[in-house]
Structure 1
Amino acid sequence: MSRLVLYTGEHFGRFAVLLFVLPLFCPVLLWLLLLDRHPLAAIAGGVIAVPAAMLAFVLLIGALFAGFRPSRVEGITRDSAPKLWAVWESVAGKHRASQTTIVLSSDLNASIGEERPFLGLLGRRAILTVGIPLLAVTDEKAFSAILAHENAHLKNRDTNGGLNLAELDKSFDLIFEYAPPGKTVSGSLFYWMLAPLSYSLEREGIRLSRRAEIDADRHAAMSGDSHEAARALLLIAAADKFFDDRVYNPLKRELLGAMAPPRPPLDRVLAVCSDLSSTSLLQEYALKAWDDPDDEKADHPPWSERLAALGYSSVPTVEPVLVPALSSLLSNEMVAERVRHFDSEWTSKIANYLDR
């Protein structure tokens, strides 16, 4: 059953809920047949038929409105970051850029998601999330290669089935709002039915995500400079290992005995970014990233596999960043405001945790 749902979900998206809707309507049809011939049996059967019909209708409504509620994100305007918007427009084109919301985050990452409510009849909306640390460890050339990678995700998402599976997953959200598991019998039964499917969906999602990353890397290499695409990957990979050593692992140790929130992580990250301008240090951490073992539960392949897909059998020499994209694409005022915002959020969260 799980394989059938996965196959249908990859190819037909939210319409795969019909595999659940049709069986749920069967008790209703049987109940209607009994209504005239066996009234007493029909009254007793209504206990099953009516909740089943309600679940079926909620599933249909959930499929129709999957992704209807727009994500609450605070995007940056073209006026506040014209250079950043210009880079995205040069990569994705004016039409796609006009349908994009760009959001800044505190992560060493860039990602893109897409929403298409009402079966896509109202168009599509892309949400491009760009991490401030990522901008701090890349220059404009590397950042353009990263955006080419993200743009490839949009181009490939329909064909690899990832967006369809995401829409199928969202279709189930409404039914658990209507019938919360643990509080309602029908919700608990439906949750029990979906438990095996949930594991299969997660596993298939990881497989599709890994394949999508490789495809997007190759697209970025073919659409521009293949060396720059590999360099962008290594800059992020090296920074990830470097920040673990210099920021996140020490911060974890500080939090173990902390009575008050320590210095926030984003502030620390930006303070040590300049150290990666050292070629020897950058190469050292790039080698560490290359040697990282594969985490089977991760939705991204290991760095060595991604670089091997671009034709590299060993770590190439990485050219360090001279002018970070953070300073060339964003104003100092905007960076300072966003850093204060993220650091304040983190400090407040840690303070609440320590007060428990």
Structure 2
Amino acid sequence: MNQSDFIRRVRQLESGGAAQDQRFQWRVLGWLLLGYGVIGGTALLAMLAPVALFLALLFSKHLIVALLFGGSLLAASHFGWRLLKTLLAVPVEHGEDALPLQRQQAPKLFELLDTLERAFQVRVHQVRLDARLNAAIRQQPRLGGLLGSRNTLIIGVPLLATFTLEQTTAVLAHEFAHLRGDHGRFGSHVYQMRLSWYRLRHHLERQRSYASYPLLRFLRWYAPRFNAESFVLNRASEYAADQASARLTSAEDAATALLVSHLADLWLDRVFWPHVYRHSREHAEPDVAPYHLLLGLTPPADSLPLAEMVMPWSQVFRDPKEWINQTILMHEQLSRLTDYDDTHPCLYDRISALGMEADLPPLPLPCDYPASQVLLGESLPVLAQHLNGLWREHQRGYWHEQHQLHEPPELATYHGLLRKQATQAFSAEDWLQLAIAQMALGKPDEECRLSLRAALTAEPQHARSLYQLGLLAIRMENWAEAPDILQQAMQADPQLEAACLDALARMAMLQDDDLAAERYLLAHDEALRRYGRSRQELACVDASDNLQCPTLSAYQRKQLQEALQPVRSWVRQVWVAHKVSRLNPRHTTWLLLVEPQTSAAESLLSPVRSSHTEACRVWLDRHTVPMPDYYQDHVLTRHDALLLARLPECALPLFDPA
């Protein structure tokens, strides 16, 4: 089963309403029991059969034969035990550095958890705090789940620092709902087993043992199909957990918690941590206390000051410029479509399912009194000190690497371009990169504008230079000039449509033109959704696709053949095609279509092909494809018979027929 087969199967189940059909749970249970039967049976057979054979030989007085076979029998038993141990192991989804929390350290938090335990009839045996903006309940099965599970609640301190008490309650209620009742427990168990099957498969692939090959071949067939069958059930459980959270708190709190989780995560990645790491340029040691700042505490006297560099989260929605940034980011997150890489639905679908406005929702209110102050109270300084220590220990090596750089990357780029300008004629792309480096270094706006104008002199329809010039015009408050420039950028490259509409919406909000801002935001969201639908179309390979045969020279074809030589013995043919989106003809992707020799080779190619076709991806990026993301490889299966029949007409074969 390749990725396209997986997507088609999930779509078929979703369109048929499988998640609402009680019989579908029995179907998933059947797949689960099949895995238990084959894997568990193999493990028990490997452990018990050699012992029984050894005892039979021993009691039949064939002592010499028993001793000769004793070593191999012991090895088989050991293999069975390791197989069973790997299957029953609990995947570590959070670092082992999570800090155990006792009731006396945070009584208010445990009072809230007591309320949730009574509401959902779920018991949490341990609470731990870590440094992630997330909350999760990790289940550790007892005797393979026969004696229940030990539940550990892991809460991220950044979540408590950026969420209100009501939003935190909604998030925790969502996690508790996953374990509520038979349906919740079954869905959670299915999710854990999806991870276990793939973990066991990767374990056997690393071993590369002939003895485990039959079992590995079964897992290569079984794991993707179990994933497809259970995918719909796990996605439905996310909606059900959202509804349960809304019933306990409110739909508004549940929807706002979803919004804040996305916005706070982006703020940490794009604003907070980059500001922290800027200190590495001047200071050799990471003597900073980021978690004191994040939690609103006074940092220790011996730490470097950070407050003057980073705006606290509580002030983000009050600052006019940050308010605009957060509005745009919120719309970007709401414009993402539900995909098939994750069982979680997209933000727009989850908020809509809660009955809340998802097209033009208001920004969350400022978080003046975060949940960390309410639930952790006097333990905050100790927890912050602990997290700071862990962060320094883990980041010290990276900090030293950044400190040893002679100059920042943007400054190195700037100097390199100046040296090139002294000896070579600049292209439009060179002028654009120079302007971007100048803006990153804080050079005067007029100097940046001259570089962009030089790029457009070299190539008048250079779309990205037009886009950057439009952004610069907005920054310089040239309100009359900016819209025309951005319209030219959209005409030169329609793929910049969403980015240009983003800039126009920012300009309208800076001018307090609410009607224009709303119009641009809605157009921006629709452009992103069109782009997302086009990408989803390109990700699924089908016989009805619009494929075009590329033109490659003999030298280019030979290079691709050499890149694929390590898997040549397993494939009958490899085809190169250019797929054009029917939704947006300017949106294309390269396809590397691999036709395996046999069905066994089909399963073997799945884990092996990526490392070797990576060379093809790099080659295509360098020679023919301007954007690296627009590439995928596809192993043809028995479901692709119609597509295979079309390939001689619309794809280029790389190897000569045998």
Q: TM bucket by the smaller chain?
A: 0.7 to 0.9
1:151 maps to 2:151: no
Match of residue 225, structure 1, among 250, 256, 267: 250
CA displacement 1:7-39 (0-9 Å, x = unmatched): 65645885662354478699969x89xx89xxx
Change (3 A) 1:256 1:159: farther
Is this contact kept in 1: 2:178–2:237, CA < 8 A?
A: yes
After the TM superposition, which residues 242-321 of structure 1 pair with which residues of structure 2 at under 5 Å, given as runs? 242-249=267-274, 260-261=285-286, 263=288, 266-267=291-292, 269-270=294-295, 272-278=312-318, 281=323, 283-292=327-336, 296-312=340-356, 313-320=358-365, 321=367
Equivalent position of 2:375 in the other structure: 329
CA offset at residue 134 of structure 1? 1.2
1:351 maps to 2:396: yes
CA offset at residue 151 of structure 1? 1.1
CA offset at residue 74 of structure 1? 3.9
CA displacement 1:146-171 (0-9 Å, x = unmatched): 121111111144232x3245257559
Q: Which runs of 5+ in 1 are unaligned?
A: none
CA offset at residue 143 of structure 1? 1.6
CA offset at residue 234 of structure 1? 1.6
Match of residue 55, structure 1, among 79, 93, 98: 79
Does 338-347 or 294-303 show the bigger shift?
294-303
Structure having the higher Rg: 2
1:76 maps to 2:101: yes
Does 237-246 or 41-50 show the bigger shift?
41-50
CA displacement 1:241-275 (0-9 Å, x = unmatched): 33233124556777799854474654554462212
1:85 maps to 2:110: yes
CA displacement 1:84-118 (0-9 Å, x = unmatched): 11112112218956543121121111111222312
CA offset at residue 235 of structure 1? 2.0
Match of residue 342, structure 1, among 387, 393, 399: 387
Distance (whole Å) between structure 2 residues aligned to residue 126 and residue 218 of structure 1: 22
Match of residue 17, structure 1, among 25, 39, 43: 39
CA offset at residue 46 of structure 1? 8.9
Q: Which runs of 5+ in 2 are unaligned?
A: 7-26, 296-306, 402-658
Is this contact kept in 1: 2:31–2:226, CA < 8 A?
A: no
Is this contact kept in 2: 1:113–1:127, CA < 8 A?
A: yes
After the TM superposition, which residues 29-40 of structure 1 pair with which residues of structure 2 at under 5 Å, given as runs? none
Does 220-229 or 205-214 show the bigger shift?
205-214
Is this contact kept in 1: 2:255–2:354, CA < 8 A?
A: yes
Match of residue 136, structure 1, among 145, 157, 161: 161
Is this contact kept in 2: 1:138–1:325, CA < 8 A?
A: yes
> One-letter code of the match for 2:391?
W
Is this contact kept in 1: 2:165–2:370, CA < 8 A?
A: yes
Distance (whole Å) between structure 1 residues aligned to residue 129 and residue 74 of structure 2: 47
> One-letter code of the match for 2:186?
T
Change (3 A) 1:80 1:23: closer
Is this contact kept in 2: 1:92–1:148, CA < 8 A?
A: no
Change (3 A) 1:196 1:265: farther
CA offset at residue 81 of structure 1? 0.7
> One-letter code of the match for 1:83?
K
Distance (whole Å) between structure 1 residues aligned to residue 350 and residue 376 of structure 2: 29
User: Secondary structure of the equivalent of 1:154?
Assistant: coil
Q: TM-score, normalised by structure 1?
A: 0.73
Change (3 A) 1:26 1:148: closer
> One-letter code of the match for 1:125?
R
Distance (whole Å) between structure 2 residues aligned to residue 257 and residue 192 of structure 1: 54
CA offset at residue 204 of structure 1? 6.7
Match of residue 134, structure 2, among 104, 109, 124: 109
Match of residue 192, structure 2, among 152, 163, 166: 166
Is this contact kept in 1: 2:194–2:223, CA < 8 A?
A: no
Is this contact kept in 1: 2:242–2:254, CA < 8 A?
A: yes
Distance (whole Å) between structure 1 residues aligned to residue 117 and residue 101 of structure 2: 17
Is this contact kept in 1: 2:170–2:245, CA < 8 A?
A: yes
Q: TM-score, normalised by structure 2?
A: 0.43
Change (3 A) 1:334 1:137: same
**Whose relative contact order is higher, 1 or 2, with alpha carbons under 8 Å and at least 6 apart?**
1
Change (3 A) 1:190 1:346: farther
CA RMSD of aligned residues (A): 4.9
Does 198-207 or 223-232 show the bigger shift?
198-207
Distance (whole Å) between structure 1 residues aligned to residue 235 and residue 44 of structure 2: 33
Distance (whole Å) between structure 2 residues aligned to residue 315 and residue 347 of structure 1: 41
Equivalent position of 1:100 in the other structure: 125
CA offset at residue 50 of structure 1? 6.5
User: Secondary structure of the equivalent of 2:137?
Assistant: strand
Q: Which structure shows the higher helix fraction? A: 1
Distance (whole Å) between structure 2 residues aligned to residue 24 and residue 266 of structure 1: 50
Distance (whole Å) between structure 2 residues aligned to residue 181 and residue 303 of structure 1: 37
Distance (whole Å) between structure 1 residues aligned to residue 38 and residue 387 of structure 2: 39
Does 322-331 or 274-283 show the bigger shift?
274-283
Does 232-241 or 93-102 show the bigger shift?
93-102
